[in-house]
Chain A
Amino acid sequence: MIVRQLMKTDFNKVHQSTTIAEAIALLEAARVRHLIVTDEKENMVGIVSDRDLRDASPSTLNNKESAYSMEKPLSSVMTHDVITAHPDDLVEEIATLMTQQRIGCVPVQLHDEIIGVVRDKDILRMLVKLMGADQPTSRIEVQVPNVSGMLAEVSAIIQNFEINVQSVFMYPAKRNDKKMLVFRLQTMDPRKVIDEVRDHGYEIHWPIGPEMNRYE
C-alpha cells in the first residue's frame, strides 16, 4: 500500500503570522492536532502540533509575559525542517519514519505542493483493515515450523472450502523453530477448516478447549 491510498486530503493550513492564541483556538475548533504553516504564496514553511503550542503556552506564574507570548506568531514555535512524504512512498516506510522520529503527522508533498497528510491515526486505521478486524470474521491461529512454504501449504488447505480469507498475518512464535499464522476467515463456523488443518498435522493454537486455556 502506498501513501496516496491512505493520506487525508483535507487538512488545515494557516499563515505563519497567525498568533499562538489564534492557532490554539483553530486546533480546538477543527479538532485536529497539527496545522500546516504557509507563507503568502501558500507554500509550506513549517508544521506546528498541539504539543508545540502547549509548550509555548505560558505558565500561570507570570501573567504579563504570558499575554505577550500568546501573541507571538506561529513562526516562532513551528518546526521549520519538516519531514515530508511522497505520494508513492510505501506506507510501511512512512510508518517506520513516524515511529523513529516520534512524529504524529507527515505532510505529503508532490512537486512543490502539499497534497495531503498522513497521521498516526490513518496508520492505525490501515492496521485495523490489514488485520481484517473491520469485517465479520472468525480468527484461527496455527503454529507451523519456521521453514519456507508453510503459509502456502496451510492456505491451500483452507482454499478447499467456500470460505473467504479476509486477512492473514504471521508472527514469530515463542519458540525459534516455530511461526504463528493468523487467519481471519469470513465464516461463523470455522470447524471444518480447523479439523482439516489439524488433520494435516499442524498445531492449532486457537480455538482450544477450556482446560488448555493457560497463558504460558
Chain B
Amino acid sequence: MSKGKDAVFIYSDEQQSYKFSNDHPFNQDRLKMTRELLHTLGALQKSDELSARIAKENELSLIHNQDFIDAVKKASHGTFHSSMQTTFGIGTDDTPIFPGMHEAASWLVGGTLKAVEAVFEEGYLHALNLGGGLHHGFRGRASGFCIYNDSSIAIQYLRKYYDAKVMYIDTDAHHGDGVQWAFYNDPNVCTVSLHESGRFLFPGTGYVNERGHSEGYGTAVNVPFEAFTEDQSWLDAYYTVIKEVAAQFKPDVILSQNGVDAHYYDPLTHLCTTMNIYHHIPTLAHELAHKYCNGRWIAVGGGGYDIWRVVPRAWSIIWLEMTDQRHLLNQSLPTEWLDRWQQAAPVTLPKQWYDEENIYPSIPRKREIEEKNNRTVEKALRPFRDKKKRPFSPNY
C-alpha cells in the first residue's frame, strides 16, 4: 500500500475564482474549508501539494466544440447575447455569467489534467483534485453549474496520450450525464454512475437501460436509486456493482468523481445517506486501484451543497484514505478548525467523523425502496452476469 509520498494533492487559489454569485449553491469555500481541515489535522503538508495549472484551449477542445469555447470566452470578457442561454446554456439561472468564467473553468480542468500528469508522468500513485468533477458539462453546452467538463477532458487526454482503459466511478447524487454521453460509444472507457433516480431529480437521465452504444455497449453502467435511499442499500449497490464491473473491465486507471450531495443534509437532492457512505467510497476505489491499476487512482470533487456539515468531512476522508492516514478519523474534528468555521456557519458543525443516529425521520417505504434498489442492481449487472453476452468479450 502507498505511503504519504505516493499521493499528491492538487490545488491553487485560482480554483476558488469559479464563483457564480454570493447566493449560488455552488460554493468553492468548500475547497478552503477542506484544505484547512487537513492542515489542522496535520494530514496535509506543503510537500504533499502540487499547484494546479490552467488548461490550454487545445486541451478544452479535446471535448468541447469551438463555438462553445468561443461563446464562454466572449461572455467571460463581457459580451453576452441572450441567444447564448438557449444555444450554450450560459447566462441561465444555473450557470450565470461572471467575469473571468472562461479562465476560472479552465483552472478546474487544468487541475484534473495536472492530476493525470502527476500519475502518468511524475510517478505518483494517487492524485486528488477536489476542484474537478464538473460532470454535467456537455461538448457544446454548459449544464447544471458546469461549464467545462474536466473529467471528460481528462479521460480523453488519458485515451489520447496514454491509451489507458479508464474506469470512471461517479457517486454524485446526480447522474454523470456529461461524461457518460461523451464516451457512450467508447469501449475503452467504462462510466459507472450511482445516483438518485432521474424520475424527479436533475438531469433526468441515468436509467438502468442506458448501457452504451455500438462498440461501447456495456461500458456505461447506471444505478438510479429510489428517492430516500439509506446507507445500507446504497452501499450494497456500490460494493456489488463497482467490484463486478472492475473485475470484468480491468481498467488501467480509476477516475473517481466524488460529489458528496447524496447526503441527507444536501439541500438539492432526496437521498437519505449519512457520512457512513463517504467512509466507504474512497476505500473501495483505493483497493481496486491497487488490485487492477498498479495503484493509478485519480480522484476529483463534484457536487456538494451542504458545505458546512458534509463536504469538508467527506472530502478530507478521501485524502486520508489515499495517504493511509485513516487513524486520524478515530478522534474528533480539531477544535481549532471547528471554532474558526462555526462562527461563519448557519448550522451547528458536527464534531465527529460519523453522523449521529437519527438525523432524519424514519422512512415509511424503506422496504420497498430496498427491494427496488436490489432489482435495479440486478438489471444494471445483467449484461455482466450473462456469460453469452459479456460486454467486454472480444467477439461481442
* Chain A interface residues toward B at CB < 8 A: 132-133, 135-140, 161-164, 184, 186-189, 191, 206-207, 209-211, 213-215
Contacts and interface: CB of A to CB of B under 8 A. Distances in A.
Q: Which of A139, A140, A163, A191 has the most CB of B within 10 A?
A: A139
B228 A213 contact: yes
Contact of A214 (B200, B360, B361, B364): B364
A174 to B, nearest CB: 18
A188 B202 contact: yes
A191 B205 CA distance: 20
29 contacts: A132-B204, A133-B204, A136-B136, A136-B177, A136-B205, A137-B202, A137-B203, A139-B199, A139-B200, A161-B93, A163-B93, A164-B86, A186-B92, A186-B94, A187-B93, A187-B202, A188-B145, A188-B174, A189-B93, A207-B200, A207-B227, A210-B228, A210-B270, A210-B272, A210-B360, A213-B227, A213-B364, A214-B365, A215-B365
Interface string B216-230: 000000000001100
B200 A210 contact: no
Contact of A137 (B86, B204, B365): B204
A138 B143 contact: no
Chain B facing A: main interface SS: loop
B202 A191 contact: no
* Residue among B94, B272, B365 with max Cβ neighbours from chain A (10 Å): B94
Contacts of B85: 162, 164
Nearest to A139: B200
A187 B272 CA distance: 22
Contacts of A162: 85, 92-93
A133 B210 CA distance: 14
B25 interface: yes
Interface in B236-283: 267-268, 270, 272
A202 B361 CA distance: 25
Given A162-B93, A189-B94, A191-B268, A210 B202 contact: no
Top 8 A-B pairs ranked by shortest CB distance?
A136-B203, A211-B361, A188-B144, A162-B93, A138-B202, A188-B202, A210-B228, A139-B200
Given A210-B361, A213-B365, A164 B204 contact: no
Given A163-B92, A188-B174, A210-B363, A136 B272 contact: no
B362 interface: yes
B143 A136 contact: yes
B293 interface: no
Given A189-B268, A207-B270, A184 B204 contact: yes
A164 B94 CA distance: 10
B201 interface: yes
Given A191-B268, A213-B363, 5 more contacts: A136-B136, A136-B143, A187-B93, A187-B94, A210-B227
Interface in B97-148: 136, 143-145
A2 B115 CA distance: 52
Nearest to B174: A188
Nearest to B271: A210
A137 to B, nearest CB: 5
A194 to B, nearest CB: 11
Nearest to B270: A207
A189 to B, nearest CB: 6
A62 B365 CA distance: 56
Interface string B358-375: 001111110000000000
A137 B200 CA distance: 8
Contacts of B203: 135-137, 188
Contacts of B204: 132-133, 135-139, 184
Contacts of A215: 365
Contacts of B199: 139
A214 B145 CA distance: 32
A190 to B, nearest CB: 8
Contacts of A140: 200
Interface centre among B143, B200, B272, B363 (most CB of A within 10 A): B200
Contact of A136 (B202, B227, B365): B202
Q: Which of A132, A133, A138 gathers the greatest number of chain B CB atoms within 10 Å?
A: A138
A184 B202 CA distance: 9
A213 B361 CA distance: 11
Contacts of A137: 202-204
Contacts of B362: 211
B94 A188 contact: yes
Nearest to B201: A138
Nearest to B143: A136
A65 B368 CA distance: 54
Contacts of B205: 133, 136
A81 to B, nearest CB: 37
Count chain A CB atoms within 10 A of each CB in B199, B204, B360, B363 and give the residue with the most. Answer: B204
A112 to B, nearest CB: 38
B359 to A, nearest CB: 11
A161 B94 CA distance: 11
Interface string B181-221: 00000000000000000011111110000000000000000
Contacts of B361: 209-211
A33 to B, nearest CB: 20
A138 B25 contact: no
Contacts of B202: 136-138, 187-188
A164 B92 contact: yes
B65 to A, nearest CB: 17
B327 to A, nearest CB: 34
Contacts of A136: 136, 143-144, 177, 202-205
A179 B4 CA distance: 60
